[in-house]
A and B are shown apart, each in its own frame.
Chain A
Amino acid sequence: MDTEFDILIIGSGAGGGTVASALSPLCADGARIAVLEWGPHFKDEEFTGGELEMAQKLFFESGAITNRDQTLTVACARGYGGSTLAYTGTSIEVPQRSVDHWNVPGLTIADLVPRMRHYKAQNNVHELSDEDINENNQLFAAGCRALGYSVKKFPVNIKGCKGSGMCNMGCPNGAKQGTNRVQLPAAEAAGVQVITNCRVHRILPHEVEAEVAPSPYGHPSAWPAGRYRLHAKVIVVAAGTMHSSALMAHSRLPVSLPALGRYFTCHPALTLIAQHDHPFLNYYGFPKTYYCDDFEEQDDYILETCMYFPFTTAKSLAGFGAEHSALMADFRRLQMILVLVSDQAEEGNRITPDADGNPVLHYTLSERTLDALVDSQRIAAKIFFAGGAARVHAPAADRFLIDKADSDQVDQLIDRRHLKLGKISIASAHPMGGCRIGTDPKNSVTNDRGKVHGLDWLYVADGSLFPGSSGVNPYVTIMALADRVAEGIRDRWRAGELR
């Protein structure tokens, strides 16, 4: 098999899959392009919907990479399609205020919007019709409206959805449009090779050390098991926020990159749960339809609907024993809201590699983030009650359940004093930063086209490019940024620089 390439792409998620498809027309022009993906290419029948089974198959560390002080877990998936295998598929454009806040010369909302729209169209993004919206979502909307909050419908990227509600375990019906369904197959059809079960261990100038290892799941890799040294004119790192920084730092690149791994953000999130007196239709149908961003600009958080699975739900509740069991006893009575905080990019929040090149996350939840997590619980509790909930569980309340009779006191009952890190399950599915875009190599890693400062053969094209958090669900923005990176490489190829 070939070990000489023009372009090697590491990772096949939102970033890597997009770069692969955007560069694939170059194959007709003779370019040799390959994607190296650590995880397997799952077979359709392997998306079983079994909660534990899928967590173990699909995610790094079963979906719970913890930070060093173990106060936060981060989920990212591994496989052909990366985390787009597990995402819900809500497709939001980054708002102008986030891009303005990033303040990177050359990176403008005007440039990003057409790219975001292009990928949204490719992914069949649209709003769900009202008849497909279940009661978990309807109750959220009703609660928001009763309180005078605005509620918006998520644009979602599904085609032929059967309403199984299993999106975060990988869609069993091939309905969710991830890079596994859209960009990667198109890239392969145009001549890009995708090598699965292939972990890149190290990046060297114009070279990578990779290893193909058998997996118990998925289609067999295109290459036999073994170690490989592959050469390329250009290498694009798109291993996802958690792994790109770790891989690059582990590789000891021939330039000094003081900001590598730094300015990590992740939208720390809490799943809040309320109980109704009667069962309702909460988990049939697409799980995530509405959100409220009234509090994003001032208070740093958004509220979204969500509906998780029994273990994930049980662990989201602070507490245990009889009251916990009573809440879990009838799943059909549970309503859920996810609150996500727009955390600030701080230099000290960073990823470093361990001895094997795996990521070690050093992340401290700031006072500002904790305040937002508390405030968002108060708002969520009010929305639950306004929607008719009988009891609400808020991890920062002074008791396990707040009863409807006490609903006028949620501002007092939910308090920072009760938010004990390590006691509550704070989780992230949106890791961002670590290879941030910018102009100054002291506080950024790549230029505005994703080219690593000081190296003309190395690019980054994934969530790690974000200079700060996006404030909204990030995949559409990642695709737009990856598209810019691909455009820069394509221009160099066409100018004859890479031939």
Chain B
Amino acid sequence: MDARQRRPVLKAWQRRILVRLATCIVPETATASAQSIDAMVDAVDGQLQPRPRLQQIAFKLLLLGLGWMTLLPAGWQASLLHLLEAFPIRLVRVGIWGLKTLIYLGYYGQESVQQRINYLPSKLEGNVLLHARRLPGRA
């Protein structure tokens, strides 16, 4: 039940492709700290771990299939991914959706990123801050 106890699913080269694809999907990952990138890839891996083997293989095949794309200039990569996101074959669209979703999970699931985008909920003081009309985060 506890995903953290299992072995990593992604190999080093697959992690590298994932990181390169992430820069196309969430451009600011290109300048994110190594710690944040590691956290992103670890979270993706953590999601894959409890999934059936077939799903893990499908994801690795997707990375393999898209790996060559990361050698293209950034603009081309984005155009190609947009094409695939709306591709006439549903299975292709589903694959891109899965990739995007995992990258969003890995990135926007991080507390430091949530703080940076001004998502700073308060467990105990939400109503107090609401009544005081205090906007969260930076000006």
Docked CA distance A216–B5 (Å): 11
Could you tell me if B119 and A283 are in contact, using CB atoms closer than 8 angstroms? yes
- The residue in chain A whose Cβ has the minimal distance to the Cβ of B99 is A320
CB of A47 to closest CB in B, whole Å: 9
Question: Are B126 and A51 in contact, with the CB atoms below 8 A?
Answer: no
- Kindly list chain A residues whose C-beta atoms are within 8 Å of the C-beta of B82: 319, 321
Contact A322:B93 (CB < 8 A) given known A50-B111, A315-B104: no
> Within 8 Å of chain A (Cβ to Cβ): is B76?
no
Q: A440 interface residue, CB < 8 Å from B?
A: no
Q: Does B47 sit at the interface, judged by CB under 8 A?
A: yes
Chain A residues contacting B100 (CB-CB under 8 Å) are 315, 320
On whether the beta carbons of A173 and B123 are closer than 8 Å, the reply is: yes
A52, CB-defined interface residue at 8 Å: yes
B127 at the interface (CB under 8 A from A): yes
Contact: B126 with A164, CB < 8 Å? Answer: yes
Closest CB-CB distance, B95 to chain A, in whole Å?
Answer: 8
A331–B136 CA distance with the chains assembled, in angstroms: 10
Give chain B nearest CB distance to A435 CB in angstroms: 26
User: A132's closest neighbor in chain B, by CB?
Assistant: B127
Report chain B residues within 8 Å CB of A322. 27
Q: State whether the Cβ of A227 lies closer than 8 Å to any Cβ in chain B.
A: no
In whole angstroms, how far apart are the Cα atoms of A421 and B94 in the complex? Answer: 8
The answer to whether B43 and A52 touch across the interface, beta carbons within 8 angstroms, is yes
How long is the Cα–Cα vector from A314 to B101 in the complex, in angstroms?
Answer: 8
Within 8 A of B (CB), among A292-337: 309-311, 313-315, 318-322, 324-325, 328-332
Give the CA-CA distance A164 to B122 in the complex, in Å: 5
* Complex: A40 Cα to B126 Cα, angstroms: 28
B78 neighbours in A (Cβ, 8 Å): 321
* Complex Cα–Cα for A134 and B118 (A): 17
Interface residues on A, range: 35 or more
- Is B105 touching A162 in the complex (CB atoms < 8 A)? no
A147-198 interface (Cβ within 8 A of B): 161-166, 172-173
Q: How far is the CB of B102 from chain A (nearest CB, A)?
A: 9
**Is B71 among interface residues, defined by CB-CB distance under 8 A?**
no
B residues 65-101 in Cβ contact with A at 8 Å: 78, 81-82, 85-86, 90-91, 93-94, 96-98, 100-101
**Interface residue SS majority, chain B:** helix
Shortest Cβ distance from residue A416 to the other chain B in the assembled complex, whole angstroms: 14
Whether A310 pairs with B123 at a CB distance below 8 angstroms is no
Whole-angstrom CA separation of A284 from B137 in the bound complex = 12
Q: Given A314-B108, A423-B97, do A163 and B117 touch, yes or no (CB 8 Å)?
A: no
How many chain B residues touch A (CB < 8 A): the figure is 52
Contacts A69-B90, A281-B130, A284-B136 given; indicate if A332 touches B118 (C-beta within 8 A): yes
A254: interface (CB < 8 Å): no
Q: Which of B45-62 contact A (CB under 8 A)?
A: 46-47, 50
- Given A52-B109, A70-B94, A311-B104, are A321 and B114 neighbors across the interface (CB < 8 Å)? no
Q: How far is the CB of B82 from chain A (nearest CB, A)?
A: 8
Q: Are B114 and A310 in contact (CB under 8 A)?
A: yes
A165 to B119, CA, bound (A): 11
Residue of A134, A309, A311, A318 near B130 (CB, 8 A) is A134
B97 pairs with A281, CB closer than 8 A: no
Residues of B close to A328: CB separation below 8 A:
108, 117
Residues of A within 8 A of B101 (CB): 315, 425
A124 interface contact, C-beta 8 A? no
Q: How far is the CB of A160 from chain B (nearest CB, A)?
A: 10
Chain A min CB distance to B73 (Å): 14
Chain B residues near A319 (CB, 8 Å)? 82, 85
The contact of B121 among A213, A284, A423, by CB within 8 Å, is A284
Interface mask (A382-425 → B, CB under 8 Å = 1, otherwise 0): 00000000000000000000000000000000000000111111
Contact of B86 among A70, A310, A423 (CB under 8 A): A423
- B26, CB-defined interface residue at 8 Å: yes
Which residues of B sit under 8 angstroms from A216, Cβ to Cβ? 1-2
Most buried by B among A62, A71, A283, A322: A283
Kindly supply a per-residue 1/0 record for chain B positions 14-36, scoring 1 wherever the CB is within 8 Å of any chain A CB and 0 otherwise: 00000000001111100000000
Shortest CB–CB separation between residue A225 and chain B, in angstroms? 12
Expressed in whole angstroms, the minimum distance between the Cβ of B59 and any Cβ of chain A is 12
Is B133 among interface residues, defined by CB-CB distance under 8 A? yes
In the complex, chain B residues whose CB is within 8 Å of the CB of A424: 97
Specify which of A163, A173, A314, A321 is in contact with B104 (CB 8 Å cutoff). Answer: A314
A-B contact pairs, 12 of them (CB 8 A): A131-B131, A134-B130, A163-B130, A284-B126, A284-B130, A285-B130, A311-B108, A321-B82, A322-B27, A324-B26, A325-B26, A330-B137
- Closest CB pairs A-B (n = 7): A163-B126, A163-B127, A422-B93, A314-B104, A52-B109, A422-B94, A284-B130
Known interface pairs A284-B126, A284-B130; 10 further A-B residue pairs with C-beta atoms within 8 A, sorted by A's residue number = A132-B127, A164-B121, A165-B121, A173-B123, A173-B124, A279-B137, A283-B119, A283-B126, A321-B25, A321-B27
